[in-house]
Amino acid sequence: MNGVHDMGGLQCFGPVRPEPDEPLFHAPWESRALAVTLAMGAGGRWNIDLSRAARESLPPATYLASSYYEIWIRALEQLMLERGLVSAAELAGDATPAPAPADWRPLAAERVDAALAAGSPTERPAAQPARFTVGDRVRAAQRNPAGHTRLPRYVRGQVGTVAHVHGAHIFPDRHVSRPLPPYDDAPEWLYTVVFDGRTLWGAQADPTLEVSVDAWEPYLEPA
C-alpha cells in the first residue's frame, strides 16, 4: 500500500534533530510499550510483517503525529482487536476482562533471554536457483500493491545493479496473506540493489551518492 510510512525522498520534515545525551526511554510508559509489544508478539498470533502492516495502516494523520512507541501501541491494539484477543469494551475499561484463550502461553521471564537471543531468522531453503547475480542490471518493478510491501516508491521503475545476493528470505507481501498461523513463509531470493543518486533524484543530485535497497526477486525485472 502506498502510505505515509514510505518516506524516502520527502523534503517536508525539516532538519534531523539529534538529541544530546538522549535517554533510552523518554518516559516510563515507553519502556512498558516496548515490553508489552514484544511479549504479546511472542504469543505468535501475528508475525513481524503483519505488525508492520498494522502500523502502516493507521490513519495517516495519526501515524505522522505519533511517536514511534505510540505507533506501536496503536497497532498492537488493532492487532489484538482484529483477532478477538481483546474487545473494544475491555480496552475502554467498560467490561470485566475475559480470560485469554486456553492455549495462550505468556512469555515467561525465564524464557525472555533465549527468545531475544534467538530472534526470528527469515532465511529459508530456496526452491529454485537465483534469477540474478552480482553485477546484473535490474529494474525495480513499477508495482503498487494494495497490501503490505517493502519496495519503497522512490526506487520503483528505476534501474540499478545487484551488489549482493543474501539467500532466500520470507517474502513479506505473502507473509501477511493470512492473519493467523500457519503463515505463508515461502521464500524469495533477496538482493541488495544499488542505484546511482542521479538516477533516483535527477541531475542536481549529489554525484557521489549511491543508495541501495534490499529487494526480493518479485520486485525486480531484468534491465
Partner 1 sequence: MDVRVRALETLLTRKGYLDPAALDRIIETYETRVGPHNGARVVARAWVDANFRRWLLADATAAIASLGYTGRQGEHMVAVENTPEQHNLVVCTLCSCYPWPVLGLPPVWYKSAAYRSKAVIDPRGVLADFGVRLPDTTRIRVWDSTAEVRYLVLPMRPPGTGHLDEAALAALVNRDSMIGTGLAGAQPAQAATDSGAAP
Please give the residues from 12 up to 31 whose contact with partner 1 meets the rule CB under 8 A: 12-20, 22, 24, 26-29, 31
The DSSP 8-state label assigned to residue 143 in this structure reads -
Torsion of CA 154, 166, 1, 8, to 10 degrees: -30
Nearest partner of 165 among 143, 203, 122, 133, judged by Cα? 133
Please report whether residue 94 would count as binding partner 1 according to CB under 8 A.
no
Please report whether residue 106 would count as binding partner 1 according to CB under 8 A.
yes
Number of residues that bind partner 1 (CB under 8 A): 96
Nearest approach, Cβ of residue 174 and partner 1 (Å): 14
Interface pick for partner 1 out of 9, 44, 60, 84 (rule CB under 8 A): 9
Interface pick for partner 1 out of 50, 79, 138, 215 (rule CB under 8 A): 215
Q: Where on the phi/psi map is residue 9: left (φ > 0), alpha (ψ -120 to 50), or beta?
A: left
Interface pick for partner 1 out of 121, 125, 129, 222 (rule CB under 8 A): 121
Contacts of 70 (CB under 8 A, 6+ apart): 33
29-58 binders of partner 1 (CB under 8 A)? 29, 31-36, 38-40, 43, 48, 52, 55-56
Q: Is the peptide bond before 106 cis (omega within 30 degrees of 0)?
A: no
- Measured CA to CA, the distance from residue 65 to residue 1 in angstroms comes to 20
Please report whether residue 143 would count as binding partner 1 according to CB under 8 A.
no
